[in-house]
Amino acid sequence: MNVNEAIKLGIDCADMICGAYLDDLTNEEAMQRPHSGCNHVNWQIGHLIASDNAMCNGCVPGSVPALPDGFEEKYSKEKAASDNADDFIPKTELMEIYRNQRQVIKDVLAGLSEEQLSAASPESFQSYAPTVASLFSMIGSHWLMHSGQWTVLRRELGREIVI
């Protein structure tokens, strides 16, 4: 196994876990907050998609297609306080954007050389991911960081334990 495959394995594992927590949530349920101090799941998914896009394009400019018009604004920190579903993209559409983008990110990762993976990440990511490899590794880890909140929401909704 090479570095690219190991990073992809981490992303795939995160995708499997997060999918188990998100797949059966309805659009309405994704607008719920796990706790009053948390962002709703829909905003979190959009935030994660935008972050993935920025991380990959930061390392390999232009490698991932731009997100739909207005996406970044809908999922900005300023919009996180909104509970109006009309301010956001329905969860079902978000997950389609995620799946399409995720495949592109995996293809980009597969094409990176060891030298490229060892290169410094963009300056804005240096504090937590100093290399391109560590930034690509963050793509899966970032989703897992948020998934803990989704388990709380699932418990509140009376959903079965999936993992």
Q: Is residue 138 part of a domain?
A: yes
CATH of the domain at 126: 1.20.120.450
Structural domain count, the chain: 1
Q: Give the model's pLDDT for residue 48.
A: 98
Q: Is residue 163 part of a domain?
A: no
What single string gives the DSSP state of each residue in 87-154? GS--HHHHHHHHHHHHHHHHHHHHT--HHHHHSBPPGGGTTT--BHHHHHHHHHHHHHHHHHHHHHHH
Q: Is residue 71 part of a domain?
A: yes
pTM for this predicted structure: 0.96
pLDDT per residue as tens digits for the range 24-73:
999 999 999 999 999 999 999 999 999 999 999 999 999 999 999 999 99
Q: Is residue 162 part of a domain?
A: no
Range of the domain at 80: 3-156
Tokens of residue 113, six digits: 């050389």
At 131, give phi and psi (nearest 5°). -120, 165
Q: Is residue 7 part of a domain?
A: yes
- Closest by CA to 42, choosing from 104, 106, 100, 98, is 98
Q: Is residue 161 part of a domain?
A: no
